[in-house]
Chains A and B, each alone.
Chain A
């Protein structure tokens, strides 16, 4: 039995489910395994870990789970909840799910390290030390609340068209700084908070690392091929079997502009998606090395 933890409408889940079925393997998509109507019982003590999950009528024992594909940390319908209670229950559910995933002896894609599980949307800056360690160039960034330092950043690479971009660390929006009015506005923001600046870059090019495969999105530069060993090494270093990176050209060359621990389906065209899904299913169905069956061995090795 392969568990696919995610929304029923998630295209990765559906595609993996379909490919498993095509290989005559049973998969089940579950959006919230730890919340009613699912029933979850996990006994853990010093010697053993045993769990049962009832998604429908029949229980699934942990030794019947042959692989898990993880697309969401948990989901709870917010209807009827007080915000504080919902936040608490979500935190508890996520904590239980993370622990449980690490207790399973089967392949789990991805068995997220806690640091990524709890900060899946960490800004690029948080990945900088690891990117450097893996010889992956990243886009240049500046955090400052000093007006003249921000203005100087605009001129670090005085290539024509190399404008600065203001990108809050905790948001998804970007603001291109092109006019004097933009810079005046930025200075006003700096009176309240340090701002994060990067340089404007070309169109994002997406790659997905799935196990040993590096699958490229459409219109990807040939230069990315040179980075394939580094991309594989990066995925291995952060302990993810399935991760997306976005790269783009700036005036200083090709660099990583984002790391996405939950790859986006729409960033890849049909043939690339097929290869990614094949890679995921291969990982899920891989023969387990029983000398390292205990996921805890992985835990000890992979802590960031």
Chain B
């Protein structure tokens, strides 16, 4: 049985559930929007392994029956407030819930989309970059510094064609470093920032789903196309075929990170080089599926189902 673990208020989780239903693949939803309310759980760790169950309003699933899991943890906005809990303790409660779930999912011997450990690399873009560049994908000239002088020199060396963005897993808008912002470089002393040479070309979002790959070319004049609407600009998307070497690099990278599904941000230069910016372990693929028409959610549903099939086969006596 497939277990979907996410918040129904999250459109990506909702799409995964809808697609599984559409494909006729049975699943159970552990709705993190309200969890643990409405669920009964027992997870028992012993030297012999993990056993127990998850029970919903009208179902009960033994852990040994779970053959594939899709997880997507909602933020606080996607969760119901626990009743009668002081607001300052609510984040701690969510943390306690998620820590237990992560421990469970790390130990389930089935297909996981995705295991938590593999995705941790995305919390440090430079850590990830060191790995990415070993797989045939290019890394833009990057400066990490808390030194205003070095930042200014980098800006000048790149003729002012520089962007800045977060180094960590905290989401930020990618912006150009403009002359006006050079005045604020002194603030860098408080902590390091990441500057990168602006890479001309078009953004390409790659979704790997198992051994399948879906590449989407994004046409936009905005540096960070995710926020094009805010600037009143349009975004257009179309599916594309990646050069086989780049496709293979993406698949090998996802495999190395132990991620069954990824969203990889690339940029193709006018010369045909491919730079990689990050590997997202919990991609919001709905946006790309909607605009490019690619069957990403169907591939995911099949992966979850086939992962289940493979596990069932492996349990057959030989």
Asked if B43 and A144 sit within 8 Å, CB to CB, the answer is yes
* Nearest CB in chain B: distance from A215 CB, A: 25
Question: Which listed residue, B95, B129, B169, touches A91 by the CB 8 Å rule?
Answer: B169
B125 lies within 8 A of A95 (CB)? yes
Kindly state the separation between the CA atoms of A125 and B105 in the bound complex, as whole angstroms. 11
Cβ contacts under 8 Å, A118 to chain B = 120, 123
Tell me whether A15 is interfacial, beta carbon within 8 Å.
Answer: no
CB proximity to A under 8 Å, residues B133-182: 133-134, 138-147, 150, 166-170
Assembly CA distance A66 to B214 (angstroms):
44
Docked-complex contact A94 and B134, CB < 8 angstroms? no
Residue of B nearest to A116 (CB): B120
User: Which of B15-23, B188-196, B225-233, B290-298 lies on the face that meets chain A?
Assistant: B188-196
Instruction: Determine the chain B residues whose CB is within 8 A of the CB of A92 once the complex forms.
Output: 166-168, 170, 191-194
Query: Which chain A residues border B139 with CB–CB below 8 Å?
Result: 44-46
Q: Are B130 and A102 in contact (CB under 8 A)?
A: yes
A76 within 8 Å of B by Cβ? yes
**Interface on chain B toward A: helix, strand, loop, or mixed SS?**
mixed
- Interchain CB contact under 8 A, B143 and A43: yes
Inter-chain contact A146/B257, CB cutoff 8 Å = no
- From residue A259, how far is it (CB to closest CB) to chain B in Å? 13
List, in ascending order, chain A residues with CB within 8 A of B44's CB.
140-142, 153
B141 engages A34 (CB within 8 Å)? no
1/0 contact string of A291-303 vs chain B (CB within 8 Å): 0000110011001
Chain B residues with CB below 8 A from A46, complex form: 133, 138-139
Residue A18, interface by CB 8 Å: no
Other-chain residue from A49, A99, A132 in contact with B167 (beta carbon distance below 8 A): A99
With a CB–CB cut-off of 8 A, which chain B residues contact A102?
A: 127, 130
Chain B 26-53 near chain A by CB (<8 Å), digits 1 or 0: 0000000000100111111111011010
Q: How many residues of A contact B (CB 8 A)?
A: 67
Q: Is B236 in contact with chain A by the CB < 8 A criterion?
A: no
Q: B130 to A49, Cβ gap below 8 A?
A: yes
Interface set of A (CB-CB < 8 Å, partner B): 34-36, 38-46, 49, 76, 88-96, 98-100, 102-103, 113-115, 117-119, 122-123, 125-126, 128-129, 132, 137-138, 140-146, 149, 153, 168-170, 192-194, 196, 252, 255, 295-296, 299-300, 303-304
B interface residues with partner A (beta carbon < 8 Å)? 36, 39-47, 49-50, 52, 82-85, 92-93, 95-97, 99-100, 102-104, 106-107, 116-118, 120-121, 123-131, 133-134, 138-147, 150, 166-170, 189-194, 256-258
Please list 24 pairs of residues, one from A and one from B, whose beta carbons are closer than 8 Å in the complex, sorted by A's number.
Answer: A35-B146, A35-B189, A35-B190, A38-B146, A39-B146, A40-B146, A42-B145, A43-B142, A44-B129, A45-B140, A49-B130, A92-B194, A95-B168, A96-B126, A96-B144, A99-B128, A102-B130, A114-B121, A114-B123, A129-B106, A140-B44, A145-B36, A193-B97, A299-B127
Other than A35-B191, A95-B168, A252-B47, give 13 A-B pairs with Cβ distance below 8 A: A42-B143, A44-B144, A91-B170, A95-B126, A96-B126, A99-B144, A115-B116, A118-B123, A129-B107, A169-B99, A170-B95, A193-B93, A296-B133
